[in-house]
Chain A
Amino acid sequence: MNSNIWVLTSANAVTIATTLILAALGALFTERAGVLNLGVEGILLTSAISSFLAADSSGSIWVGLAVGAAVGALLAGVHATLTVVLRANQIVSGLALVIFGTGLANFLGKPAEGKTVATIIKPMTFGPLTRIPVLGPIVFEHDIITYGTIALAIGSAWYLFRTRPGLELRAVGDDPATVDAQGLSVARIRIRYTLLGGALIGLGGSWLMLAQSAAWHQAATTNGIGWIALALVVFAGWHPVRLIFGAVLFGFCLRLPFTLQAEQITFIPSAFMQMLPYVATLIALIALSRPGSKNLRGAPKSLGNPFVRDER
C-alpha cells in the first residue's frame, strides 16, 4: 500500500469538508438562535440544482453560487415562517422541508440529468508550495471557497463569543424570555439567523455542485451529507472552530471508500465501506451523549422550543 492514497484521501477530505462546514455552520447559527432546522438535506439538494441551472444559463459560477445561497435562504424562510411565526413543530417542519426539497430538486433537475457545468471553480495556485510532498496537495490545492469557508468558521467563533450581536444570538437560544425582557424581538433575531443559516447551507450545496461533482445525480448528489452536517454540530459542541476538525474527520470517512475502490483494495466489501461515514457519525453521536459529556454544554438550552410570550 503506498502512502499516496492517504494523501489523496486527506486532500479529498478537505474538499468535501467545505460543504460539511458550510452546511454545519448554517445549522449552527440556526440552532444557536434556538431553532432546529432538520431540513439541511433538502436545502442542500435544492440549492445544488438551482446553482447548476443558474450557472448553466448565465455562464457564471458566481451567479450560480449566489442563486444557490438565495434559494437556501428562501427555503429556510419557509421553515422560519412555520416555526417562528406560526409556532409549528420544528422537527416535523424540517422533515417536510427535506421531502419537499428532494421532490423540488428532482423536478427542477430533470432537464439537467446527464449534463455537466461548462466551467467549474478551479483550485488556486500557490506555485512551489503545491509541490511540497504530502502537505502540498492537502493544504495548498483548494479553491477560494474552501479557504474562505475555513476563515468564515474562525470568524464565526469570534462573532459568536466576542461581539454584542453574538451575545444576543446565544442569549436567544439559551434564554429567550430574558432577551424579550431586554426589549429585543426574539422572533426577529430567530428569523434573521434561520435565513442566514439557510443561505450558508445553500452556499454549501451550490459549491458541492459547482466545484465537486459538476453533474446532477438526483438525491445521490448529496447522499446524506445534510444529516452528517447536523450530527457534526453536536460533535463540535456548537463551536464553529471545532466544526473544521470534525468536518475533515467525517470528510475522510466519506472519501475513503472511493479511494480504496480506485486503488482496488477489496478485502473489505465496498458496501461496508460505504456505511463507514454513517456508522462513524452514529458512534460519535452516541459517545458524545454519555452522561457528563462536556460537548453538550454548548447546546442551546431552548433549542427546539417555540417562544411564546403571554399575550395580553
Chain B
Amino acid sequence: MRAPFRIIFEQRSDTPKYLTALVPLVSVFAALAAGAIFLMSTGYSVSETYSNMLQDGFLSSRGITDTLGLSTVLICMGVSAAFAFQMNLYNIGGEGQGYLGMIGGAWAGLALGPHLPSAIMIPALLVIGAAFGAAWIFIPAFVRARLGTSETVTTLLLTYVAASLVNHFIYTPNSYFRAPDVTFPMGRTVPDSAKLTAIGDTRMYPTFFIVVALAIFLYWLVKRTEFGYRIQVISDSPKAAHYAGINSRRTTMQVMLISGALAGLGGATLIVGEFGKLDPGITMLGYGYAGIVIAALARNNFAAIIVSGILFSGLRVGGDKLQITTSTPIHIGVMLQGAILLFALGGEAFRRYKIRAVRMQAVAQ
C-alpha cells in the first residue's frame, strides 16, 4: 500500500529574512519542549528544572554575569568552529586545540616570570596560547591541504592525545606545570601580572569584550575583504575557485590554522581569567564541543555567534547549578545543546525548501 500523500520539496529561490531568524528561535523552543517531555517521562519536575535554569542562567544578577563570563570562552570556540566550517572544513578538534591554548598560556605565564608588567604578560599569554592551538591543528591542516585526508576524524583524534598531554603535565611528579609542595596534583598558578582581575563583584573578565570585538572583526574580515571573498568562492564552488586561480591549498592551510589559533585563544582566556593555571578539569567541560553547536546554530555567522554563545552559556550556567538547586542531573544541559542542534538542522529544510504534501493523484497527472 502506498501513502496517499507525497512530500514535495521545492527549492526556494530566495529565502525570506524572517525565516532565517525564526528557524533557530523555533529550534530552541522545540528542543526545550522535547526536553520537557523527556524530563516528565523520567520523573523529574519540568517547571522546577526550567525555572531554576532560567533564574540561575539569565535572570539573577549572579546568573547573567556568570553567563557572560563563561560565554567568553564559548564565543571563542564558536568562532573557531565557524571559521573552518564556513569553508566546509570540519575542524571538530577545537576542544583539543583549546587544551593546547591552556598549556601554551600557562607555560608563557610561568616562563616569562613575575617581573614583566601585565601590559606585556596578558597579550603574550593570549598570543602564545593561540600559537599553541594553531600548532596543534598543523598536521591535520597540512595533510588535508596536501593529501585530502579528512580533517574531521584527524582533528578529533588529536583531542584525545591533547587530553592525555594535559593529564601528563599535571599528574607527573616534578612536572613544570604542577604546583610544588602540594601532595594533591594540581597546576602551578601563573604570576599575578599574568592574570586579569574580574570586573567588580562578578566572575566576568575583560577578555569578554576582547572576544566580542574579535567576533565582529571576523564578521568584517569575511564579508568585506579579499581573503573573505576567496573563502566564499572556494566553499561555493571549488572548481570556480580553481579556474579563478585561487590557491585552495594555501587558503585551506590558512583557514584551518586560524581556526586552531582561535580555539587556542579560547583556552588561553581561561588562564588569564578564572583558572589561572593548567587544570586537568578542563577535559571534562567540553567547551570546544559546545563551540560546534554554537557555530551551527548561528549558521557560521560571526555576529550571530555572540548571541548563540551567550544563549548556550546561560544554558550551561543554569544547567550546572541544577545539581545544587534540584535533583535533576546536570547533563540535561548538554542534552538540550544536542537537541537544539538537531532541531536547528531539521529546521534548515524549512528555510531552504518549500515543503508541501501533495495528493498522489495530483502528482501522477
Contact = CB atoms under 8 A, between A and B. Distances in A.
A110 B158 contact: no
Give chain A's interface residue range (CB within 8 Å of chain B). Answer: 35 or more
A286 B154 contact: yes
A275 B149 contact: no
A99 B341 contact: yes
A281 B157 contact: yes
Interface string B1-22: 0000000111000000000000
Interface stretch (B159-167, B195-203, B248-256, B263-271): B159-167
A107 interface: yes
A227 B156 contact: yes
Interface residues of B, number: 49
A280 to B, nearest CB: 10
Contact of A291 (B8, B147, B171): B147
Interface stretch (B113-121, B123-131, B177-185, B329-337): B329-337
Nearest to A273: B164
A269 B339 CA distance: 39
Interface in B133-174: 139, 143, 147-150, 152-154, 156-158, 160-161, 164-165, 167-168, 171-172
B160 A224 contact: yes
Nearest to B9: A311
A78 interface: yes
B342 A82 contact: yes
B30 interface: no
Interface stretch (A89-97, A132-140, A145-153, A203-211): A89-97
B9 A96 contact: no
Nearest to B332: A107
Contacts of A289: 143, 147-150
A82 B161 CA distance: 32
Contacts of B363: 312
Contacts of A290: 147
Contact of B157 (A82, A103, A231, A269): A231
Contacts of B150: 234, 285, 289
A104 B160 contact: no
Interface in A102-117: 102-104, 106-108, 110
A110 B44 CA distance: 13
A278 B168 contact: no
A110 B345 contact: no
A269 B170 CA distance: 13
B346 interface: yes
Contact of A285 (B149, B161, B341): B149
A271 interface: yes
A216 B90 CA distance: 31
A92 B341 contact: yes
Contact of B338 (A89, A97, A231, A274): A97
Interface string A195-231: 0000000000000000000000000000110011011
Given A103-B337, A275-B160, A88 B345 contact: yes
A303 B154 CA distance: 18
Given A96-B342, A100-B335, A278 B157 contact: yes
With a 10 A CB-CB cut-off, give which of B331, B349, B352, B363 has the most chain A CB atoms.
B331
Contact of A38 (B143, B152, B164): B152
Per DSSP, are chain A's interface residues mostly helix, strand or loop, or mixed? Answer: helix
Contacts of B353: 87
B274 interface: no
Interface in B290-346: 292-293, 296, 329, 331-339, 341-342, 345-346
A282 B338 contact: no
B295 to A, nearest CB: 9
With a 10 A CB-CB cut-off, give which of A104, A106, A282, A291 has the most chain B CB atoms.
A282
Interface in A182-201: none
A88 B345 CA distance: 6
B331 to A, nearest CB: 4
A108 B293 CA distance: 22
Interface in A57-109: 78, 81-82, 86-89, 91-93, 95-104, 106-108
A286 B164 contact: no
Nearest to A290: B147
Contacts of A96: 293, 296, 338, 341-342, 345
A267 interface: no
Contact of A271 (B92, B168, B332): B168
Contact of A93 (B9, B329, B333, B345): B345
Contacts of A99: 289, 292-293, 334, 337-338, 341
Given A92-B345, A95-B341, A275-B164, 8 more contacts: A91-B152, A96-B293, A99-B289, A227-B157, A281-B153, A285-B150, A286-B149, A311-B8
Interface of A: 38, 42, 78, 81-82, 86-89, 91-93, 95-104, 106-108, 110, 223-224, 227-228, 230-231, 234, 269, 271-272, 274-275, 278-279, 281-282, 285-286, 289-291, 308, 311-312
Interface of B: 8-10, 42, 90, 92, 139, 143, 147-150, 152-154, 156-158, 160-161, 164-165, 167-168, 171-172, 289, 292-293, 296, 329, 331-339, 341-342, 345-346, 348-349, 352-353, 363
Q: Which 6 pairs across A and B sit closest by C-beta, in order of nearness?
A: A100-B338, A103-B334, A271-B168, A103-B335, A86-B349, A106-B331
